[in-house]
Structure 1
Amino acid sequence: MRLGRLLLAALLGLVLVGSLTTAVHADPRWVFYTKDKTRYESPWFKGAHRVMVPYGCTTAPYYSPDSRCRDQRGFHHGLDIAMRCGTPLYAPYRFKVVSNDSLGPAYGDNPLLLRNARLGWDLVIGHTRRVYVREGQVVRRGTMFARAGDSGAPDGCHLHFERRAVGGGLSTATWPRPLLALTPRERP
């Protein structure tokens, strides 16, 4: 009888620890402006993570009303993905790091502007914590080049991915999801 209680207590303890481990990875500042609860993997980052703010018209309060959106909604030019601060980013393609002087403070202190002219894209990555590459550097496939952070982000650790035309500004931003190759994480 006593052994049964000890085993039950141990099992409950393991369940509690497992649920706490999951909770530790959540940032209490995260606010999700999508009903999509899917966790996505990408060759750009380690792990599987949820979308916080999707591309396009959004109810997120950070964006001015846009004529493309009904009900006075704003337009988000990228895709925000919630992830723990320090999550590593990897280069799934070869790219060149170009000057980020054209990017404003909304992208944080260390935004990256990456270019692959051969494949026809620029990629803005905002809210990085640590960057391991420098302007002018050609980054080879597989290289860890930065870590996620919350610089300039009022809603916790995440990364902002924004695909643009080569050399283009914000007005050239297009849906970044295909470039990120987001795939739903398989459930065990």
Structure 2
Amino acid sequence: MRRLGAVLAGLLLAAVLVPALTGPARAGDPRWVFYTHDTTRYSSPWFAGAHRIMVPFGCTRAPYYSPDPRCAHGHGFHQGIDVAMRCGTPLYAGLRLRVVSNATLGPAYGDNPVLLRSRRHHLDLVVGHTRRVYVQEGEVVPRGTLFARANDRGAPDGCHLHLERRALGGDLSTAVSPRTLMHLTPAGPA
């Protein structure tokens, strides 16, 4: 009789946990809007899992950016790549970098952005919308190191990673596409 009770309790627990774990995990953040026709999920050394791009680098119809003369139809220009991912997704250093002061970054990157620098590669990397940062200014971050987790701070469109590549010591006007640096590898359709 005890064994039957234990089996029933296990089945009841499974009936409660399985939908709770599989339903929301597959649904994603209800605030996500994808401003691209690309439905591919990508993996990268910069983050755990495989995720879709929400807003690619360049001209976009996403409403968060002011009209830019480089773009048609009054569209704005996005200086990075936004990758949709659940809050708490681990973010890893894709190459050896040093943490530098984020004082020059505005509120659009959230309240805890990370600014990373590589003199060897002549670049700065802005990582926006982080929940927890495990590194400090001045610290060298070896490749593969967990340095932060994704969040939705400062992001009206849900949890995602914003990655922006700039010239070494450069400002927003020096941003170029980070796609090659991210080593995005197709992992299949969404």
* TM tier relative to shorter chain: 0.7 to 0.9
Match of 1:6 in 2: none
Pair 30,123 (structure 1): closer, same or farther in 2 beyond 3 Å: same
Is 1:171 the counterpart of 2:173? The answer is: yes
Match of 2:161 in 1: 159
Match of 1:84 in 2: 86
Which residue among 115, 134, 137 is the counterpart of 1:132?
134
Q: Which runs of 4+ in 1 moved over 3 A?
A: none
Match of 1:105 in 2: 107
What TM-score do the two structures reach when normalised by structure 1? 0.87
Rounded to whole Å, the distance in 1 between the matches of 2:41 and 2:25 is 17
Is 1:32 the counterpart of 2:34? The answer is: yes
Q: How far has the Cα of 1:35 moved from its partner?
A: 1.0
The amino acid across from 1:71 in the alignment is H
Contact 2:99 2:141 in 1 (8 A): yes
Unaligned runs of 5+ in 1: 1-13
Q: How far has the Cα of 1:119 moved from its partner?
A: 1.2
Size of the aligned set, in residue pairs, is 173
The amino acid across from 1:100 in the alignment is N
Rounded to whole Å, the distance in 1 between the matches of 2:93 and 2:177 is 19
Alignment root-mean-square deviation, CA: 1.9
Please state whether the residue corresponding to 1:29 is helix, strand or coil: coil
Unaligned runs of 5+ in 2: 1-14
Rounded to whole Å, the distance in 1 between the matches of 2:104 and 2:183 is 26
Rounded to whole Å, the distance in 2 between the matches of 1:21 and 1:50 is 18
Match of 2:187 in 1: 185
Match of 2:77 in 1: 75
Rounded to whole Å, the distance in 2 between the matches of 1:24 and 1:137 is 34
Q: How far has the Cα of 1:100 moved from its partner?
A: 0.4
The amino acid across from 1:24 in the alignment is A
- Structure 1 window deviating more from structure 2 (166-175 vs 21-30): it is 21-30
Rounded to whole Å, the distance in 2 between the matches of 1:162 and 1:66 is 18
Pair 186,27 (structure 1): closer, same or farther in 2 beyond 3 Å: closer
Q: How far has the Cα of 1:186 moved from its partner?
A: 4.8
Match of 1:10 in 2: none
In the TM superposition, what whole-angstrom CA distance separates every residue of 1:24-79 from its partner, at most 9, and x where no partner exists? 34011111111111000000000000000010000000000000001000000000
